[in-house]
Structure 1
């Protein structure tokens, strides 16, 4: 029988990396700050501790280490990288932190830019990078998810301060004409529900000269309606994944791993139940790191790849969801 040749450009996954700060903020320590307890937090979220950046750490530093680890696993010459996308909502430079990562890596041939979509950011960035690669514009890309949410948490608000932590993760992906391991994706946004989770700017009125007023720059702390975000996630995430399975002619029983944005263990369990995916296939490190926004999916992937849970040719279903409100799903094969 004649061999069927793959004539289109596909995507291959070549490496992963991550970074989390050394500072550990446990539930017990948070209970010294606000009226809560370890049992209360764990029973409602699944979180036991989270990592907090020190005074010298930021999104650039964390993203750089994660990217470098992914490049080392891929065994790439840094000069061969064409594209760097940083998914973040907390850049240490509001004009963009990806160029700083590009410079630290010495990836002088790569174009680098930030993409902001909060907790959906990494998945949206992964989709964006794969489309550049499949379009033939670039050969090699680094996709980074990094956030420093500790800088924007109200540490006196016990409803939200228990949820968030800092960290970074990255994937190295490459164009190939031999096969395509990026099977499919779907993405959605509903700005009408955006007020459920946001980080609004501060509207501090000031004056330049007489009759010329302006609003000075700055941001408030994270604003969140936890009940509404929970209802949104447990409803919309299974729907978008089920739709993706239909359009790609896959079924949930063919999935080796489900990797969701690590927001709340109850959300992960609920989505798994709806899709009839066993708990053994649902990857979670929420207990150790909390919600690191755009970093949750790539940190989880890197841990599972390095401890050999995720193996060559494993099928992974993933979904990111959060502020915007935005959500998306991707189906891909590792390797």
Structure 2
């Protein structure tokens, strides 16, 4: 039996560095609420990262490990702590490709005052559908998630089209630094092949040359404009715009536009430690929710709960599998949060 959800995003070891507004070291390590993976210096903190990893964990919050998949390129410097943490989520999730001649992909998240930067420290190893075909357990999943520029998305979709008998649900997350007006024509060329398009609010407005900051009105305008461009096979696509503390807005050709609030909103900011990976985790939760409920409004609730666990610490949330029928994440039940959110929105 094939996987339900596979991400083509990368696995990365993330480094977090905290600087003052003038660029000097603060000495801050910002311990996450749920514990650390490992530490190097007082102002540098290391965690498992990568958009694909967060998406896979967002799905794992709802689905058993054997229904989720991702390729992890394991270099010659792969820490034992990282291996143990990945295995704790379920070893069936991960397919490790070993390379003794190179290191694991690494990146740095630099927090300078109120601003955040992101830079790769090593070359990236990009994944495509052909890579999945080389791994029988990952070949031809029901849903694929990819994070990239529109032009690279076109290449991914072309590869997928060339794999006979495979028509996956496509979940596309535009990469932030390519969400600029110049990329809109390339995006328009592929929208008919995208089932779910999900930029965040700033990315959506930037692509469409709509002035910032985001407002409910401009976000809804952006969703409608993407739909008018012909998203989805036979116009069945969905636009989901992720808006942080504002929640998420979604709309489809046959799905009226609707807002779903964030689980941790502006009144509960004490629960939000770091938003790195929240959007990726949201989309993994969305794919899982669609599989379990078959309804987009319900799936957005699953996605919102997944994101709520991601933002509670630096790095990935912790799982407790003591009860195989009720895994706890960060010591709480995803089902409990789902029911609470369902009551809030009246679903």
Q: Same fold (TM over 0.5)?
A: no
TM-score by length of 1: 0.33
- Normalised TM-score (structure 2): 0.32
Highest CA radius of gyration, 1 or 2?
1
